[in-house]
């Protein structure tokens, strides 16, 4: 029997892909044009200019509204690579990092590779996000870093400006690095960068995968204060730069963003509303966070006593709808939920809403 991912990729064109918070809602034809022009000109014959194609860094700074006088930017093959670089560069044995559980666990794995520990603070309860009290209590003299994923994968919870400020103050008091993972920022109604309160030690993990629908392009960026970036650079594995076609696509996406981002977020919001209605009709299922301020949320099915991995398998193999069981996102809480993303065309979301109740009823027996 093939693994879920092997099966899903084999049947890629028939699958409703809701398992990885990717985005398949159309954006701008300008992006495809930029990709095709890059291919046609065969600029891929050369290594790209190491700091990135002209204009890309500037476009990222403009998107964030932060100053190139204070911050440096490293173009990376995905936000995850920037996180890897900073974790390897800044952490050492004995350090600990404050993070949430559930979370995007590959980052925690990177922390452990540096022989540091992750203090995973439970957030699978009201208010479904980290609180100031929780963080204050967890910080000790070995804490070096705070990982803020805002809004949060997988729950979809956003942080308010006051909460962000409070976290920044804790970081300032204890001289911590603040990692501002803003992968899902564009899906939130409002968002506050930690640079607003704590620019001196904020590092931003920047992604094109979810908002722009570029998961397969593998492009992102890492932003850090200039003095900290000096410490990170020796750990940069991309000294020969990053895929040129992805860079062209990224620049075109930022240059046209105003034309398509509202539509992407709007369709995602409509889809989550449809899923909410579907979940309300299922006994023993509920949404901890609604509306989600990301392009995904968690459906809690713990009362049904059904194994989320079974739901994942059955939805995939019987209905060609691919969601994720929670175990990948939390050892402690993952058996209680499935995570589904919804930045997909509406007709595909309707397929989920048709299949999900059926799968739950079949597995209840």
Ligand X SMILES: Cc1ncc(COP(=O)(O)O)c(C=O)c1O
Binding site for ligand X (CB under 6 A): 21, 78-80, 104, 149, 153, 181, 183, 205, 207, 209, 215, 220
Sort 106 into a burial class: Cβ within 10 Å, 0-12 / 13-18 / 19+: exposed
CA–CA separation, 132 vs 126, rounded Å? 13
Query: Please, how many CA atoms are within 13 Å of residue 194, restricted to the half-sphere of its CB?
Result: 33
For residues 221-258, b (16+ Cβ closer than 10 Å) or e, as one string? bbbbbeebbeebeeebebeebbbbbbbbbbbbbbbbbe
Kindly give the pairing relationship between strand 96-101 and strand 117-122. parallel
CB neighbour burial string for 129-166, b if at least 16 within 10 angstroms, e if fewer: bbeeeebeebbeeebbbbbbbbbbbbbbbbbeeebbbb
Paired tokens of 161: 């400006």
Only one residue has tokens 């985005």, namely 23
Residue 99 to residue 134: CA distance in whole angstroms: 11
Is-contact 338 299, C-beta < 8 A? Answer: yes
List C-alpha distances in Å: 355 to 14, 55, 132.
14, 45, 40
What the block records as the tokens of 19 is 């398992």
């Amino acid at each position: 029997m093939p693994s879920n991912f092997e099966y899903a990729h084999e049947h890629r064109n028939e699958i409703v892909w809701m398992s990885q918070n990717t985005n398949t809602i159309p954006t701008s034809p300008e992006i495809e044009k930029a990709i095709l022009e890059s291919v046609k000109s065969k600029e891929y014959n050369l290594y790209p200019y190491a700091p990135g194609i002209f204009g890309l860094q500037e476009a990222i700074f403009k998107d964030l509204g932060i100053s190139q006088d204070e911050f440096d930017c490293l173009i990376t093959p995905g936000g995850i690579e920037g996180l890897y670089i900073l974790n390897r560069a800044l952490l050492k044995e004995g350090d600990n990092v404050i993070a949430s559980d559930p979370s995007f666990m590959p980052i925690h794995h990177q922390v452990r590779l540096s022989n540091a520990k992750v203090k995973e603070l439970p957030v699978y309860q009201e208010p479904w996000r980290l609180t100031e009290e929780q963080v204050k209590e967890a910080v000790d003299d070995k804490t070096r870093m705070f990982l803020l994923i805002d809004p949060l994968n997988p729950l979809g919870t956003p942080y308010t400006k006051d909460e962000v400020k409070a976290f920044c103050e804790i970081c300032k008091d204890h001289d911590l690095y603040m990692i501002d993972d803003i992968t899902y920022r564009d899906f939130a109604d409002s968002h506050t960068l930690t640079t607003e309160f704590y620019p001196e030690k904020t590092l931003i993990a920047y992604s094109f995968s979810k908002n722009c629908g570029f998961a397969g392009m593998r492009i992102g960026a890492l932003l850090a204060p200039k003095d900290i970036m000096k410490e990170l650079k020796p750990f940069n594995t991309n000294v020969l730069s990053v895929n040129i076609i992805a860079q062209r696509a990224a620049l075109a996406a930022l240059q046209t963003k105003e034309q398509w981002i509202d539509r992407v977020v709007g369709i995602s919001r409509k889809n989550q509303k449809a899923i909410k209605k579907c979940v309300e009709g299922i006994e023993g299922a509920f949404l901890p966070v609604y509306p989600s301020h990301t392009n995904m949320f968690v459906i809690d099915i713990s009362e049904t006593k059904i194994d989320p991995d079974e739901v994942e398998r059955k939805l995939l193999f019987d209905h060609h709808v691919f969601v994720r069981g929670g175990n990948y996102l939390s050892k402690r809480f993952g058996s209680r939920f499935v995570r589904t993303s919804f930045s997909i065309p509406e007709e595909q979301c309707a397929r989920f809403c048709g299949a999900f109740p059926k799968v739950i009823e079949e597995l209840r027996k």
